[in-house]
Structure 1
Amino acid sequence: MQRSSWLHPKFVASLHNSSSRNPLHFRKQQTTKPYHYNDHQKSLCLRHTDKLQEVRRIVDETRGEKETLFLIDSLQKLCVDYHFEEEIEAKMHSLYEKQLKIIDDVFYRFLDSSGEFMASLANEMEGLISLFEASNLNFGGELMLYRANEFSRIHLKPYRTSLDTDLAVHIKQILENPYHLTLQRFKARQILDNNTSKSYYNFNIVELGKMDFTMIQSLHQKELKEVTRWWKESGLDQELVFARVQPLKWFIWPMTCLPNPKFSKYRIVLSKVIAFVYLLDDIFDVEGSLDELYLFTQAIERWDHSSMNSLPDYMRACFKVLQDTINEIAQIVVEEHGWNPIEYLKKSWIQLSKAFLVEAKWLIEDEVPTIDDYMKTSTISCGVPLVLVHIYFLLGHGATGDLLENLPNLISCPTRILRLWDDLGSAKDEEQKGRDGSLLASLRKENPHWSSQVARGKVMQMIEEAWEELNKESFSPSASMFSRDFVIGCLNTARMVRVMYNYNEEHKLPMLKEYINLLSKQV
């Protein structure tokens, strides 16, 4: 049970899904300008170009089934696979054409006569790692993968204290942040910072990963400056003095969802979209009276600035900049993809404002809604459907008549994951002044005999089920309706949730802090 245990069908499926192009979206997307570096970065660019060619030769020369799979795994783990999409696609098709023999019951070979995992496997650290990582690709109801996860986790834990420091850290990181459930650049940075982790991979691929990481850091810093500049020039910091002003948090979401460097323009404009989700939340939750919020919602529904005349200045200013932002996105789609999605974009903001209004009424009237009513409203108010719909159109997908009424599972699953994780938090955002409802309250109202612990356990179960459904959807034939970048965006949204909402007892976000530190410090 060495590294070849990665040949489980789940692993091969993940490689093929994340590496192959969707033939329905084969044309090159016109997105943004290429890298622009100053004089101090030119040397890095030249070295990066040379190293890229070296790794390309390695990719071209790699033969053998296990060697090819390990190569693709290495490129993905170090987040440089986007340079080799065509080569990876060709190699994966070649493996399938050779009818690589991978059987669905591959785990049964590791069971003893009593049907338990062989005790001797506890001594195979590499095999346990592979088993653990593969077990996180459960599509739901796969009992063997549940057992594999439990067995591998139990037997990997002792390695954290019995090995040298780097290896112990490596095991700890794997257990805390399984690859499939974790942000890829976060994992890549952990690998680059750990000598033991780096030793598993080809030196040239590691070096390319370091250079790539540094260049993308520079690009992200420029993008964040652009978002901050937009915020200052908008004048909203003077109008919305009660609101959370968090440009870094606004930017982290699109930086995570759309990691490919070519989407620079999209990340900047999506940061503005996410800013308005936070800003509207604060208007409805903190500042506006119920009468004002009714009028504000009606004005957004009409999408007419003149209808704002009777509202407070801060609401009028906010809506004006929101209109400008949505028009900017619609214009990008028109220029790059040839059609105008403005009606769909407006509808998504109308839905969001209506959901915020319903929640405002619940809170003002101290009403605890039913579970169904709560989930129906809060999965809209969390903002995930709105943001993913904007990404959907920016990536060039065409109009779908019922997209906003019947969200595809690729959107609804990360939506539920975020909503439920947020509700699980023992404390709200330390900078949020208003009150939020919670599914926990609705669960305990309908199940008064439940303790808080039981209710939280139910929410965790719902999160796990949503992840399994997302896994299944991401690798199913229905995913071919969407571009590879959109599928990645939906998965990364779900992966980001635990980073953004995992509050500790001090009401802080240690994982978010670690994520920001890892992505910002020099490699």
Structure 2
Amino acid sequence: MEGSVMTTFSLRPGHCNGSFLVAPATSRRPCISWRPRQQRQTTLRRQQMQQRSVVTDHDNLEERKDGLGKNPCNFQPSIWGDFFLHYYDTAASSKQQTWMAAERADKVKQDVAKIVASSVAWDLHHRLQLIDALERVCLDYLFEDDINATLTEIRTANLTDCDLHTVAMWFYQLRKHGHRVSPDVFMRFKDQEGSFLAKSLVELLSLYNAAHLGTHGEIILDEAIVFTRSRLETMLPSLEGSLAHEIKCALEIPLPRRVRIYESKYYISRFEKEVTVHKSILQLAKLNSNIMQLHHQQELEIITRWWKDMDIESKLPFARDRVIECYFWILGVYFEPCHSRGRIILTMVIAIATIFDDTFDSYGTMEECQLLTNCMERWDTKFADGLPECMKHALGKILDSFETIDHELAPEEKYRMRYLKNFTIDLVRGYNAEVKMRDEGYIPRTVNEHLQVSLRTGACHLLACASFVGMDDIATKDSFDWVSTMPKIVKALCIILRLLDDLQTYEREKMTPHVASTIKSYMKEHSVSMEIARKKIAELKEDTWKDFNREWLNPDNSVPRQLLENIFNLTRTMEFMYNLDDNFTNCQNLKDTIHLLFVEPFAISI
């Protein structure tokens, strides 16, 4: 039957710290059902769209390149295609083995729970090491209550006889979990010359990582970063092994800003080789990793099928096919099996934002972009007669997708769509404003003026809201009202993304007509060279992280910690995606990590 279809994934949020015994492979599981519904456009218009060939779209795109002097930046093609469309179903032997392992995981979890419970009698150093190990291998969500109780207890611990490594771990863990403890604990480790009394590289590294949870005015933490970075950079070339790897990673992205799930399999393998973690914890980590991988494969099948229905390849040749990378990105926001619905919704939203980004940035004329903006403001395709067919197609599919999301919300959750729609419209207006700035050759006079538009066009305010939409009842109407005010922590997220993006894409975007970056605005505002402007923008990014940390530690913030954690994790994923390169655009950079997380299970004997 011709016409639009709706993707239904039926993944309700559950409990994150419950049993591993989820639905076995032979039982009914979340899937996609296809059912016709009322067409958005006339049958004739749909037929015209379907008859439109790839060659015609390509010729049209080439004409636009010639006429507008634009080019879609030669985006790398997707390397995944339909790889995950049936992967979950075809990996039968591995799947059955993993579901059998779920029973074993529940038993091993009881053993690890005993270890966690007994740690109350351990010294501070070893209690902190246990928490760190559970977090590195992504098991902490299974013992969340125990970890929170431990952190509350040790908050007032006597640190007088503790070494620098222990004090730094204490400071790091407490601030990482939202406890605002004083940086004065590091004063006794400074000598008269202002250097820090670190006895080992491990102490230097721990202090370096902890100091990156600092806020404005905490001078000792600023000094600690300068001191430790200098020492670590000097010594790194002569090091090898796991410590060298850890230092290199920290110098690229400090530990508080790293995405744990992306590194979890590395740490499981590392801890096993170094025999530094109890064997029950390692066994549980492997079992849990394989079980989560199955969950994620199910979701990748769902999201791939949705993307195929969007028909990006044939209808939108100017757009990036990055749906697998989008899902990988969102996995960094919440990886736990209970957040399946939230992950799928958030992946759909970020993929939609990418379509809008590419349409406004690489294809539409100013007039077409204004018309598309008008259609989104009205949330209707009937005003789209002046748009090219491919843009009409994109508009229709995007609105269909929002209906799919609405369908997955319970009646008492339907109000969330109003917020999601408003944020999407705001994003599109921002893209449209940038098109006008680009075509008029306008460079904002100051960075602040630039950010009036561009902090929104990174789509982070939309993603912050969307990260709440698929969650359970912890996301209340008050939470959505709060995120709609562009609170300081969300604003900091948006600025960090904008500055990171500009730092990594500036050289590429100089090759084609593009909206001016914050780097150009800084050059204009201060009459300085590009090199100086880049350095200052990087410093502004670090200052914005201090703003973010301040809000993270704000005791007056009434928003549930779990929702704030979503925002923190979003910010962490931005650091990863724009570390040393624009990894989202240059998707080959992500291939190995994606394959490791979603395809390669741990070998486990049951």
> Which interval holds the TM-score relative to the shorter structure?
0.7 to 0.9
Write out per-residue CA displacement over residues 21-48 of structure 1, whole angstroms, 9 at most, x where no aligned residue: xxxxxxx964899454442323322332
Further displaced range: 295-304 or 322-331: 322-331
Q: Is the 8 A contact 1:166 1:196 kept in 2?
A: no
- Out of 364, 387, 391, the position equivalent to 1:311 is 387
Once the two structures are TM-superposed, the CA of residue 471 in structure 1 deviates from its matched residue by 1.5
Identity rate of aligned residues, in percent? 28
CA distance in structure 2 between the aligned counterparts of 1:498 and 1:511, rounded to whole angstroms: 14
Q: How far 1:144 moved relative to its partner?
A: 0.8
C-alpha distance 185-78 of structure 1, shift in aligned 2 (>3 A): same
Which residue number in structure 2 is paired with residue 370 of structure 1? 445
Query: Which of these residues, 498, 511, 518, is aligned with residue 575 of structure 2?
Result: 498
Q: Which residue of 2 aligns with 1:412?
A: 491
Q: Write out aligned runs for 1:106-125 (5 A).
A: 106-118=185-197, 121=198, 123-125=199-201
Higher relative contact order (CA 8 A, sep 6+): 2
TM-score by length of 1: 0.84
* 1:350 alignment partner in structure 2: 425
Alignment of 1:40-59 (within 5 A): 40-59=97-116
**Structure 2 residue identity aligned to 1:361:** K
TM-score, with normalisation over the residues of structure 2?
A: 0.73
Report the equivalent of 2:565.
Answer: 488
Is the Cα–Cα contact under 8 Å of residues 257 and 575 in structure 2 kept in the other structure?
no
Q: Distance in 2 between matches of 1:241 and 1:426?
A: 21
Q: Provide the residue aligned with 1:131 in structure 2.
A: 207
Whole-angstrom distance in 2 between the partners of 1:35 and 1:453: 55
Q: Which amino acid aligns with 1:53?
A: Q
CA 1:40 to 1:327, structure 2 compared with 1: closer, same or farther past 3 Å?
A: same
Report the CA distance shift for 1:111/1:400 in structure 2 as closer, same or farther (over 3 A).
Answer: closer
2:536 is the alignment partner of 1:458: yes
Structure 1 segment 393-412 matched on structure 2, within 5 A: 393-395=469-471, 396-399=475-478, 403=482, 406-412=485-491
Change (3 A) 1:168 1:90: closer
**Which residue number in structure 1 is paired with residue 143 of structure 2?**
84
Q: Which amino acid aligns with 2:102?
A: C
CA-to-aligned-CA distance 1:86-132 (integer Å, 9 cap, x gap) = 22233334445xx42356422121122444323xx2x4233223222
Give yes or no for contact 1:79–1:185 (8 Å, CA) kept in 2. yes
Structure 1 residue 340 and structure 2 residue 415: aligned? yes
Deviation at 1:397, TM superposition (A): 2.8
For this pair of structures, how many residues does the alignment match?
Answer: 487
Structure 2 Cα separation of the partners of residues 329 and 272 of structure 1:
9
Q: What residue is the counterpart of 1:519 in the other structure?
A: 597
Structure 1 unaligned spans of 5+: 1-27
Aligned equivalent of 2:546, options 448, 468, 478: 468
159-168 or 504-513, which moves further after superposition?
504-513
RMSD of Structure 2 on Structure 1 (CA):
3.0
Distance 2:479 2:243 in 1: 49
Distance change >3 Å, CA 182–CA 256, structure 1 → 2: same
**Residue 16 of structure 1: aligned partner:** none
Asked whether the 8 Å contact 2:24–2:99 carries over to 1, the reply is no
Paired amino acid for 1:71: L
Distance change in 2, residues 1:215/1:356 (3 Å): same
| Distance (Å, rounded) in 2 between the aligned partners of 1:428 and 1:333 | 43
Cα displacement string for residues 299-333 of structure 1 (whole angstroms, at most 9, x for unaligned residues): 11111222224433222222222222223333444
2:305 maps to 1:225: no
How far has the Cα of 1:163 moved from its partner? 5.1
CA distance in 2, matches of 1:515, 1:237: 24
1:75 equivalent to 2:151? Answer no
The aligned runs of 1:5-44 (5 Å cut-off) are 30=14, 34=22, 36-37=24-25, 38-44=95-101
In structure 2, C-alpha distance between the alignment counterparts of 1:138 and 1:214, rounded to whole Å: 36
Deviations 1:257-297 (A, max 9, x none): 12222111221122111111111112112222211211111
Q: SS in structure 1 opposite 2:335?
A: coil
Distance change in 2, residues 1:193/1:249 (3 Å): same
Q: Distance in 2 between matches of 1:215 and 1:433?
A: 45
What is the one-letter code of the residue matched to 1:289?
T
What is residue 10 of structure 1 aligned with on the other side? none
Instruction: Give 1:207 deviation, angstroms.
Output: 2.4
Deviation at 1:509, TM superposition (A): 6.7
Post-superposition shift, 1:84? 0.9
**In structure 1, what is the Cα distance between the partners aligned to 2:325 and 2:204?**
36
1:236 and 1:317 in contact (8 A); partners too: no
Q: Supply the AA of the counterpart residue of 2:342.
A: Y
Structure 2 gap ranges (5+): 1-11, 26-94, 160-181
Match of 2:216 among 132, 137, 140: 140
Q: Describe the shift of the 1:46–1:466 C-alpha distance in structure 2 as closer, same or farther (beyond 3 A).
A: same
| 1:306 partner SS | coil
Structure-1 separation of matches of 2:391 and 2:516: 24
Q: CA deviation at 1:352?
A: 1.0
Structure 1 stretch 277-286 or stretch 210-219: which is displaced more?
Answer: 210-219
Structure 1 residue 434, shift from structure 2 partner: 6.9
Structure 2: distance between partners of 1:252 and 1:267: 10
Cα distance, 1:230 vs structure 2 = 0.8
